[in-house]
Amino acid sequence: MHIHKAARSLNKIIFIFNFATTKQKQNQMKAKYLLLVLGIFCCMSIKAIEEDIPLYRTSDSKGNWDKDKRSITLIPTATIDGNTIRIYSDVTISGLQTSIKDSMGNIVYSYNDMTSSRCHTFEVYSLYEGEYTLELKIGEDSFYGSFIFD
C-alpha cells in the first residue's frame, strides 16, 4: 500500500517536473525568437530614413522677397527616401508643379499633381548619381532646393 502511494507521489512529481520543464522550454524558445526578431531589425539598412531637401522661396521679378499676407504661410518641406520624393505642407495644396534639374540645368523629371493634399508623393527612377535641383511651383509661389542622389 505504501508502495502504491509512493509510486503515485512519484508520478505526480514527475508530471509537475515535466510540466515545469515544458513551460521553461517554451519561455526559452520565446526568448530566442524575440532575440532573432530584434537581431533582424538591428541588421536592416539604415538608409530607409527620409533625408530633408532644404527649400528656399524664389524672389519675385523685382528682386524683392514677398512677405506673405495670409494668416497661414505656405512653407512646404521636401524629403527624399531612395527613389521616393515627398512634398509636405501645413496646409492643403493642389496644383503642384514639380521639376527636377540636373547640374547642367536640364529638366530630367517633371510632375504635375492637381489633387488636394498635405503630402504629395512621387517616384523617380531615371536619376543617376549626382547633384540635382528640385523646383516647386504652387500657385504663385515658387520654391527650390538642392539634393544629392546616391
Where in the chain are the domains?
Answer: 1-44, 48-149
Domain 48-149 belongs to what topology?
Immunoglobulin-like (2.60.40)
- Please enumerate in sequence order all residues whose Cβ is within 8 A of that of 47, keeping only pairs 6 or more positions apart, or say none: 82
Beta bridge partners of 112: 97
State the pLDDT at residue 3. 67
Rounded distance between C-alpha atoms, residue 119 and residue 89, angstroms? 7
pLDDT per residue, tens digit, the chain (150 aa), is 566 666 677 677 776 666 666 667 777 777 777 777 776 666 665 545 789 999 998 864 444 444 455 555 678 999 999 889 999 998 898 889 999 999 999 999 998 989 999 999 999 988 899 999 999 998 888 999 999 998
Three cell numbers written together for 130: 549626382
State the pLDDT at residue 65. 44
Question: How much is the pTM?
Answer: 0.61
State the pLDDT at residue 34. 72
